[in-house]
């Protein structure tokens, strides 16, 4: 704890170079553009833009990618408020009161409160990340293969439960993802598995083609042919300032949204989406005037927007401290870190303090950049929304192809992206969530190796997973989630997951 | 047939396919699991989950009610992806992108000819300059060096 301040100073000394500040700025701007454009979520955005970081040193690359990440989380609110179209899934709840405010001529204050809430939540969450990740990493140094296997198994079960929709369908997606992750050379024996003579599949299926295919290409395929041009409300700079009353009403929701978002962000699943749902429900529940919600209540914007930014940074705690991504976006960030030779995990903070603390410091800077630049530039970002979709989607398709190709200079990856795009398109029609599949692909090698190593350690005794206390706790957590998933079979009342799914579908 | 039952059937068949394909991979022993051990467990799990979907999927929407209004456009876009996969290293990035973007803007979206030309050339050559020349990420040049 006492080393935090010197470490943070080390981080700021890394960030406060002209080059890194420039990359933080560019990352935030690109991220906001990615978030603003409907259909290009943070996941596809980071995946497509990953090759642009190849020529950079690791610290600059991570600063740029982190900027894109939280810029995209912020940018989604703009389309929600001005068009009632969530720029990304976490902005669904912002649509309700944000758009209602815009219709009443209060788009500016809604955008301003979203930006202020995102800034406050982002900054406070970095404080949480800064104090929580190092001790968690030290704790995880004691983990052996059984603990890792149980942790990952528990994480995947929690993901299946928390993602929304049918748990059986989510678990099927995880297993399908794990099976895709089996393709390629077996790490322990060198056997080629399910690669059908294709040498290029030896390294397995990469996370980038899978993520771009399932999220980028399938989105293009699903929305192809749409000609409707949605109306965009364009706010003026002088209309952006919220009234004193609006500011006062937003303080509580921002604080509560931050705490809820950060805590939910650490849990596997669609944390950034769930956190907005929970924050909105909490604000409505404790409000003295719940009837204002849905008709332009500022609390309905402040709470969810703070929560989604806090959740996106909370998700970095397990990623950086344990090397375990809790959702598809952290999974792509993990892949991006690994491309630059950085392996997040218990030893990451100790062995690469410059990168870790540089990332932390860049988040403080990035959040400030987002606040200072994005509000004045909102009318410029709005212009991106005026680009007709028939011009936009071929451009996105081109960036998908070049982004995926550039990672390994492999056309097989472009082929995998196309297949995943088709699969994602069909899965969406069949009402499957594709995020669990991405995580399955990423975690497959780690979970398999830790499983086989555990069995080798115990000479084939499965009881090793329950004999070790930490492992047993993780397994009990996973079992509890399965029991919770079975609850709707016994009770007729809709649980929160079904209500969340309905809320998302109704937008 | 509902979408859940169709998906369940697919997962069961896929699980059986994985078990069949896995037969060439050694299973090993519980104390020393081989490369086929974990895929076999996953395939069994997939079959079980497929079974759950098959049994409990009666209430889901029917397969027939799923709408595919954008399917033709989607297939054309997928054909473009396939063309990029097969052609990019043979004819080069720029030519491939000119053909793909020209097809999408001109044939599929029916933009005006000058718009098609301007967008196609600027995007294909602009992205090549950005990635290959400026960011030093090598993109394929094809047989003609272009």
Exposure letters A20-46 (e unless 16+ CB within 10 A, then b): bbebbbbbbbbbbbbbbbbbbbbbbbb
Distance CA A91, CA A303 (A): 11
- For residue B101, give the nearest of A398, A421, A461 by CB distance: A398
3-state secondary structure (DSSP) of residue A12: helix
- Which one is predicted more confidently, A382 or A502? A382
Distance, CA of A206 to CA of A332 (rounded, Å):
10
Our CA-based measurement puts residue B143 at a distance from the nearest CA of chain A, in whole angstroms, of: 16
The complex's ipTM works out to 0.94
Residues 6+ apart with CB under 8 A from B80: A397, B100, B103, B104
Give the contacts of A120 (CB within 8 A, at least 6 positions apart).
Answer: A254, A258, A306
* Interface membership of B89 toward A (CB under 8 Å): yes
B51 compared with A226, residue with greater pLDDT = B51
Best residue of B12, B30, B53, B85 to probe chain A, by most A CBs closer than 10 Å: B85
Which of B3, B63, B77 to substitute to test the interface with A, most A CBs within 10 Å? B77
Comparing A282-291, A346-355, A487-496, B16-25, which segment has the lowest mean pLDDT? Answer: A487-496
**Cα angle A267, A269, A273; round to 5:** 100
State how far the alpha carbon of A449 is from the alpha carbons of A327, A460, B61, B95, in Å. 21, 14, 39, 44
Minimum mean pLDDT range among A85-89, A121-125, A129-133, A189-193: A85-89
Q: What is the mean pLDDT of residues A207-236?
A: 78
Of residues A240 and A210, more confidence is placed in A210
Crossing angle of helices A299-314 and A244-266, in 10° steps, is 30
In B, which residues are within 8 Å of A169 by CB distance?
Answer: 4, 7, 53
User: By the CB < 8 Å criterion, does A460 face chain B?
Assistant: yes
Share in percent of chain B as helix, strand, coil (round to 5): 75, 5, 25
Mind listing the pLDDT tens digit for each residue in B25-58?
Answer: 999 998 889 999 999 999 999 999 999 999 988 8
Is residue A265 within 8 Å of residue A315, measured between CB atoms?
yes
Looking at chain A, which residue has its C-alpha nearest residue B20? A194
B97 → closest Cβ in A175, A189, A398? A398
pLDDT for res A89: 66
pLDDT at B4 over 80: yes
Smallest Cβ–Cβ distance between B29 and the set A193, A417, A460 belongs to A460
A47-99 pLDDT per residue, tens: 777 877 877 888 888 888 888 887 887 777 887 788 776 666 677 778 888 88
Helix (H, G, I), strand (E, B) or coil at A345: coil
Buried b / exposed e over A448-461, threshold 16 CB at 10 Å, is: bbbbbbbbbebeee
Residue A206 has pLDDT above 90, yes or no: no
Distance CA A97, CA A309 (A): 18
Q: Please determine, for residue B123, whether its predicted confidence score (pLDDT) is greater than 90.
A: yes
Q: Structural domain of residue A395, as residue ranges?
A: 4-506
Q: Which residue has the tokens 């759950």?
A: B52
Contact at CB, B100 and A394, closer than 8 angstroms: yes
CB-CB: which of B31, B119, B138 is closest to A409?
A: B138
| Cβ atoms within 10 Å, residue B32 | 15
Closest partner residue to B109 (CB to CB) among A168, A390, A418 is A390
For range A296-301, the mean pLDDT = 88
* A484 vs B15: which has the higher pLDDT: B15
CA distance A164 to A270: 8
Q: Given a cut of 60, is residue A506 above it in pLDDT?
A: no
pLDDT band at A230 (very low <50, low <70, confident <90, very high): low
CA A112, CA A78: separation in Å to the nearest integer? 10
Q: Mean pLDDT, chain A, as a whole number? A: 83
Give the count of domains, chain A. Answer: 1
* Residue B64 CB coordination number (10 Å): 8
Query: pTM of the entire structure?
Result: 0.84
Q: How confident is the model at residue A378 (pLDDT cuts 50, 70, 90)?
A: confident
B60–A contact, CB cutoff 8 A: yes
Q: Which pLDDT band holds residue A503 (cuts at 50, 70, 90)? A: low
Say if the Cβ atoms of B131 and A52 lie within 8 Å: yes
């Amino acid at each position: 704890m006492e080393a935090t301040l010197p470490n943070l100073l080390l981080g700021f000394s890394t960030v406060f170079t002209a080059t890194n500040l420039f990359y933080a700025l560019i990352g935030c701007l690109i991220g906001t553009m990615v978030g603003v454009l409907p259909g290009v979520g943070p996941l596809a955005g980071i995946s497509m833009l990953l090759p642009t970081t190849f020529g950079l040193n690791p610290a600059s690359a991570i600063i740029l990618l982190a900027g894109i990440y939280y810029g995209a989380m912020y940018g989604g609110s703009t389309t929600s408020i001005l068009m009632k179209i969530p720029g990304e899934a976490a902005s669904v709840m912002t649509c309700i009161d944000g758009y209602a405010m815009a219709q009443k001529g209060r788009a500016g204050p809604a955008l301003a409160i979203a930006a202020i809430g995102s800034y406050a939540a982002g900054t406070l969450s970095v404080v949480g990340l800064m104090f929580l990740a190092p001790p968690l990493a030290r704790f995880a140094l004691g983990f052996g293969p059984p603990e890792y296997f149980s942790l990952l198994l528990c994480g995947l079960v929690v993901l299946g439960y928390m993602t929304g929709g049918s748990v059986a369908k989510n678990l099927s997606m995880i297993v399908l993802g794990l099976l895709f992750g089996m393709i390629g050379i077996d790490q322990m024996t060198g056997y080629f598995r399910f690669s059908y003579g294709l040498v290029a599949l030896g390294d397995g299926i990469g996370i980038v083609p899978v993520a771009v295919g399932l999220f980028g290409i399938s989105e293009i395929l699903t929305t192809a042919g749409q000609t409707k041009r949605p109306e965009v409300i364009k706010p003026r700079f002088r209309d952006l300032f919220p009234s004193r009353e609006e500011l006062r009403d937003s303080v509580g929701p921002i604080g509560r949204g931050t705490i809820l978002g950060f805590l939910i962000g650490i849990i596997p699943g669609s944390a950034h989406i769930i956190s907005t749902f929970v924050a909105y429900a909490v604000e409505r529940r404790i409000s003295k005037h719940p009837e204002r919600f849905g008709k332009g209540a500022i609390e309905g914007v402040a709470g969810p927007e703070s929560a989604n930014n806090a959740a996106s940074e909370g998700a970095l705690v397990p990623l950086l401290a344990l090397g375990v991504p809790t959702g598809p976006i952290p999974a792509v960030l993990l892949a991006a870190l690994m491309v630059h030779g950085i392996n997040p995990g218990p030893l990451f903070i100790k062995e690469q303090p410059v990168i870790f603390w540089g990332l932390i410091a860049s988040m403080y800077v990035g959040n400030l950049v987002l606040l200072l630049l994005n509000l004045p530039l909102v009318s410029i970002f709005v212009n991106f929304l005026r680009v007709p979709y028939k011009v936009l989607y071929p451009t996105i398709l081109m960036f998908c192809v070049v982004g995926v190709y550039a990672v390994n200079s492999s056309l097989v990856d472009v082929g995998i992206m196309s297949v995943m795009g088709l699969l994602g398109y069909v899965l969406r029609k069949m009402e499957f969530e594709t995020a669990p599949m991405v995580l399955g692909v990423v975690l497959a090698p780690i979970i398999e190796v830790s499983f086989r190593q555990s069995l080798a350690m115990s000479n084939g005794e499965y009881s090793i997973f329950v004999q070790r206390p930490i492992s047993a706790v993780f397994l009990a957590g996973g079992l509890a989630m399965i029991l919770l998933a079975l609850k709707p079979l016994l009770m007729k009342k809709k649980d929160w997951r079904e209500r969340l799914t309905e809320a998302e579908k109704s937008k | 047939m509902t979408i859940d039952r169709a998906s369940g059937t697919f997962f069961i068949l896929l699980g059986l396919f994985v078990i069949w394909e896995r037969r060439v991979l050694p299973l090993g022993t519980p104390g020393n699991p081989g490369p086929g051990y974990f895929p076999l467990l996953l395939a069994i799990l997939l079959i079980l989950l497929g079974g759950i979907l098959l049994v409990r999927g009666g209430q889901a929407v029917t397969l027939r009610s799923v709408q595919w209004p954008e399917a033709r456009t989607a297939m054309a876009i997928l054909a473009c992806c396939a063309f990029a996969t097969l052609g990019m290293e043979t004819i080069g990035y720029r030519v491939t992108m000119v053909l793909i973007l020209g097809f999408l803007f001109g044939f599929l979206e029916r933009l005006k000819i000058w718009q098609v030309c301007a967008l196609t050339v600027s995007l294909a050559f602009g992205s090549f300059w950005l990635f290959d020349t400026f960011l030093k990420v090598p993109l394929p040049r094809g047989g003609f060096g272009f």
